[in-house]
Structure 1
Amino acid sequence: MRAGLPTDAGQRASHGLAWVATTVAALEAVLVWCEAGGGANPIDAKVAQLAFAEGLAQLCGGLPMGQNEIVRPVDMGAGAAARQLGEVCAGLIDADHAGLRAEVAGALAQGQWPSETLHDGMLDAIRDQYRRFTDAEIVPQAHTWHLANALIPDATVAAMAALGTFGVCIPEAFGGLGLNKLVMCLVTEELSRGWIGAGSLGTRSEIAGELILHGGTAAQKAQWLPRMASGEVLPTAVFTEPDTGSDLGSLQTRARRDGDGWRIDGAKTWITHAARSDLMTLLVRTLPDAIGYAGLSMLLVPKPRGSDGDPFPAEGMEGSEIEVLGYRGMREYALQFDGMRAPADALLGGEEGQGFKQLMRTFEGARIQTAARAVGVARRALELGLDYALTRRQFGQPIIGFARVADKLVAGLVDFVMARELTYAAARAKDSGRRCDIEAGMAKLLAARTAWSNADASLQVHGGNGYALEYEISRVLCDARILNIFEGAAEIQAQVIAKGLLAGRN
């Protein structure tokens, strides 16, 4: 990349750098995973070989940043370096991998999957527990819930709470399990494999819990964390406003001290699970004379839980549902505040002007969690495509016997493993206590693309049936599409990664 290239002025090149770095990091994660298995599962080495062959070919020739955007080495002033890399790796890149892909497809057809063990009995047991729960409680009902645009049933929420879903990372001192982000990835991945709505519900408490744990007063922690960990209180994040998107410094919703509390006025949009929630983490402007982020504060605003008949019973608050293609089960809302009251102790940490900083501390965890959701969606898409390819017969044989069908499944499997291992690597970086905004952005960037490409390929395997609402893949495709947008769009992730790399962070 050209030295000193400004990130904004050279956006295509800088974002290309982000995709190059993400691809390299994913290949490194796959290598660590493959070597850790020690050859016990023969399919692992085959998947790794295919990952490196395709990854290196893309690094030399062009990386897909989107459906119709290919960034090439020449765009980054790296044409000569790419040609040199291609010469060094020509044996791997130019090899005929058709036989290898056919072997992997055959293994999938026999029910053999790449290794997923984390070489830790507790972690593997947690995955197994949530996989069994998801297969029993989520998978059989998810599509029905989706088609009805129904909220996740209260009984299912209670069952999730009984497993400890809402308190995975909340310390034991506050009633949680006190586990790490890697565990939360496993939980989120498995629940999202069943339905992204189920996986996302757990992240509501994760985001709010991290905000309060790191930014709240002792009283706020004692008041809210135990109730969130148990599932008694379901929180919702209320940040986004109309016309602001990722530009949080332009937020206009205001809160001012009024008597013995706060008065809130303004509008928010794309608020997930707003009606059934009990607590809003609300980003507002409390210092109107301060410019940009400096005037923002975070309020903890309790509200009565709504019902189907009266979704927003709180005085001074109204809401309207935003109808969406997918990502259902919690529902999206536009909210209007007109004199809504919040208690005097609602200010997170008791200090104004800290809201943006408090929120920024949660971005790494939130993006890693979104990557885990994407990994779960990517796997479900692959499962559905594989099942259909094994049972659908054309011209006298299951369609998995046709190379173009099998190749889609194998490519999806390779991408899934790369996204999964990169997400786990980001979670481990977060658990180590070091800054990992680049790693989190990479995981989210790659996993979201993988979820969409796997869902799209799986629907293609289904043919016309995939376009029918009765088939589950139609839902998975809609669910996958949002992953490239929320918690920072793909372009925002690339910007974060590029700025970090250009600033010398690693």
Structure 2
Amino acid sequence: MGYMTDERRLIQETARAFAMKEVLPVANKLDPEKGDIPPELIQKLADVGYFGIVIPEQYGGLGLGVFEYCLITEELARAWMSVASIIARGNGLSAGRGMTDAQRAVFLPRAARGEFLGAAAMSEPNVGSDLGAISCRARRDGDDWVINGNKYWCTFADGADYIMLVARTSDPTDPKRKHVGLSSFLIEKPRGTLPPGVKGAPIPKIGYFGWKTWELAFDDCRLPGSALIGEEGRAFYYISAGLERARAHTAARSIGLARGALEDATAYAQERRQFGQAIGDFQNTRFRLARMATDIEAARQLMYFVCDEIDQKRRCDKEAAMVKLFASEMAERVTSEALQVFGGAGYTTLHAVERYWRDARLTKIFEGTSEIQQRIISDHLLGKSRA
């Protein structure tokens, strides 16, 4: 089955030109300085509609599918993964899970215009993959909610227009159903600030530059009753419903990183000379590049399949876990191989290959670690998967 139509090729080519012209030069300048994505670049992303790729046209979005979303994501990640990631901060609202029609009508057009970008506050200092262990609390106080607790790994907490918080509103009665009692809250705030009642500090990290990742402390942070999104106690289900798309998006980011490393390594292999010839003439280098390209294409074709399944509204949680696992593991391996082609030059910040390598390492951790993906896949194989 052919996935690529003329329309999709045009979308891909347009995104590729945008990434190479608008994103890559900014990435090459700012990533070594650990600088933030400039507001001007965020506005350019908004102008071409990339914050509303999957937001329905009735709300001002492009109304495209997950397939197109991942096509664009791969191109952006080839330039800078952080830019491929920030578009999710608008597109993430597209499903409006738990939102009322009135909330969708208010929030989605703003998100599509790039005027309502979010940050997710789910993980905690002692909570990563096990969301059921969340201890940050939200208690009712009249018509308001009061939040107390700590959050970790909240990327873009300062630059976002809102923080989507997951907090515990009730305790589970069944120890095996710890995820029950978690609720979602949308905390609006001005860009460049943290909400009242919230303090934070950036977490030092080895990559994923372009924006800051925060540790947050909620100290009697007061929210109006309208901040609750969806039904109380249903946050886990809203999160779970979006995992297939999130994992396809991460696969696309992984593939983009690997492709950037391959393209740079291929060019370097034709320029760099040793023993009187280009290193690309050595069989070891040529075969290394061939293996890298094959791994990338295998991941891409699996991603295309998963994206098509999602767009056709067919359940594919096992396959989404597979592509996230395969693509992220592939990206770390391929970017490392590319760095080897560069030799000592690859271990400097003078070439972008080290950025791809550092960022690829993260893809094995976020949106569910490789170990979590293997558990999901093996649960399906062994008949232990749950609806």
> TM class by shorter-chain length?
over 0.9
2:141 pairs, out of 239, 258, 264, with 258
2:322 is paired with a residue whose SS is helix
Whichever structure has more helix as a proportion of its residues is: 1
Task: Name the SS for the 1:257 alignment partner.
Answer: strand
Residue in structure 2 matching 1:365, options 242, 245, 248: 245
For residue 132 of structure 1, the aligned residue among 6, 11, 17 is 17
The counterpart of 2:71, out of the listed 186, 190, 200, is 186
Q: In structure 2, how many angstroms separate the alpha carbons of the residues matched to 1:195 and 1:162? A: 18
Match of 2:304 among 406, 414, 424: 424
Q: State the partner residue of 2:97.
A: 214
**Which residue of structure 2 aligns with residue 74 of structure 1?**
none
RMSD: 1.4
Distance 1:334 1:281 in 2: 14
Larger radius of gyration, structure 1 or 2? 1
The 5-angstrom pairing of residues 2-13 of structure 1 reads none
Q: For residue 199 of structure 2, what is the aligned residue in structure 1?
A: 318
Q: Which residue of 2 aligns with 1:345?
A: 226
What residue number does 2:184 align with? 298
Look up the SS of the partner of 1:148 in the other structure.
coil
- Give CA deviations for 1:401-444 in whole Å, capped at 9, x if unaligned: 11111111110000000001101110001111111111111111
The one-letter code of the counterpart of 1:222 is A
1:276 to 159, 168, 172: 159
AA aligned to 1:486 is: F
Q: Distance in 2 between matches of 1:504 and 1:205?
A: 34
Name stretches of at least 5 consecutive residues in structure 1 with no aligned partner. Answer: 1-31, 37-117
Q: Does 1:376 align with 2:262?
A: no
1:165 counterpart SS class: coil
In structure 1, what residue type is equivalent to 2:130? D
Of 272, 276, 282, the residue aligned with 1:392 is: 272
Report deviation, 1:260. Answer: 3.1
For the residue of structure 2 that corresponds to 1:293, the secondary structure is coil
Given that residues 172 and 179 in structure 2 are in contact (C-alpha distance below 8 angstroms), is that contact kept between their aligned partners in structure 1? no
Deviations 1:45-99 (A, max 9, x none): xxxxxxxxxxxxxxxxxxxxxxxxxxxxxxxxxxxxxxxxxxxxxxxxxxxxxxx
CA shift digits 1:276-328 (9 cap, x unpaired): 0011111110113655111101111112211xxxx43x210011101111111
1:167 is paired with a residue of what secondary structure?
coil
Please, which of 81, 87, 92 is the counterpart of residue 202 of structure 1? 87
Measured after TM superposition, the shift of residue 342 of structure 1 is 1.7
TM-aligned CA deviation for residue 208 of structure 1: 3.3
CA distance in 2, matches of 1:271, 1:124: 34
2:289 matched residue in structure 1: 409
- For residue 169 of structure 1, the aligned residue among 20, 45, 54 is 54
How many Å separate the matches in 2 of 1:500 and 1:205? 32
Q: Deviation per CA, 1:76-132: give whole Å up to 9, x if none.
A: xxxxxxxxxxxxxxxxxxxxxxxxxxxxxxxxxxxxxxxxxx441110100011100
Q: Using the TM superposition, give the Cα deviation of residue 205 of structure 1 relative to its aligned residue in structure 2, in angstroms.
A: 2.1
Partner SS, residue 216 of structure 2: strand
C-alpha displacement at 1:268, in angstroms? 0.5
Pairs within 5 Å for 1:229-248? 229-248=112-131
CA distance in structure 1 between the partners assigned to 2:352 and 2:204 by the alignment: 19
Distance 2:101 2:281 in 1: 61
CA distance in 2, matches of 1:288, 1:216: 23
For residues 276 and 189 of structure 2, what CA distance do their matches in structure 1 show? 60
Q: Contact 1:169–1:180 (CA<8 Å) still a contact in 2?
A: yes
Q: Distance in 1 between matches of 2:222 and 2:207?
A: 33
Between the aligned partners of 1:370 and 1:206, the Cα distance in structure 2 is 14
Q: Show the counterpart of 1:149.
A: 34
Give the structure 1 partner of residue 341 of structure 2. Answer: 461
Letter in 1 for 2:343: G
Q: Hey, what's the Cα distance between the residues in 2 that align with 1:208 and 1:177?
A: 14
Q: Secondary structure at the match of 1:444?
A: helix
Identify unmatched segments of 5+ residues in structure 2.
none
Three-state SS of the structure 1 residue aligned to 2:242 is: helix
Structure 2 residue 381 is matched with structure 1 residue 501: yes
**Residue 302 of structure 1 contacts residue 342 of structure 1 at CA under 8 Å; is this kept in 2?**
no
CA distance in 2, matches of 1:326, 1:162: 27
SS in structure 1 of the partner of residue 320 of structure 2: helix
**Contact 2:56/2:94 (CA < 8 Å) preserved in 1?**
no
Name whichever of 176-185 and 255-264 sits farther off: 255-264
Contact map agreement 2:91 2:111 (CA 8 A) in 1: no
**CA–CA separation in structure 2 for the residues paired with 1:189 and 1:342:** 37
Q: Structure 1 residues 144-153 or 255-264, which shifts more?
A: 255-264
Equivalent residue runs for 1:65-144 within 5 Å: 118-144=3-29
* Partner Cα distance (2:160, 2:123) in 1: 17
Instruction: Note if contact 2:56-2:63 (Cα within 8 Å) is conserved in structure 1.
Output: yes
Distance 1:495 1:203 in 2: 25
Give the residue type in structure 2 aligned to 1:253.
C
Separation in structure 2 between the aligned mates of residue 290 and residue 202 of structure 1, nearest angstrom: 38
Give the secondary-structure state (helix, strand or coil) at the position aligned to 1:333.
Answer: strand
What is the CA–CA distance in structure 1 between the aligned matches of 2:234 and 2:384, rounded to whole Å?
27
Deviation at 1:209, TM superposition (A): 3.0
1:332-356 deviation per Cα after TM superposition (whole angstroms, max 9, x unaligned): 111110011222111112x211110
- The 8 Å contact of residues 208 and 236 in structure 1, kept in 2 or not, is answered as no
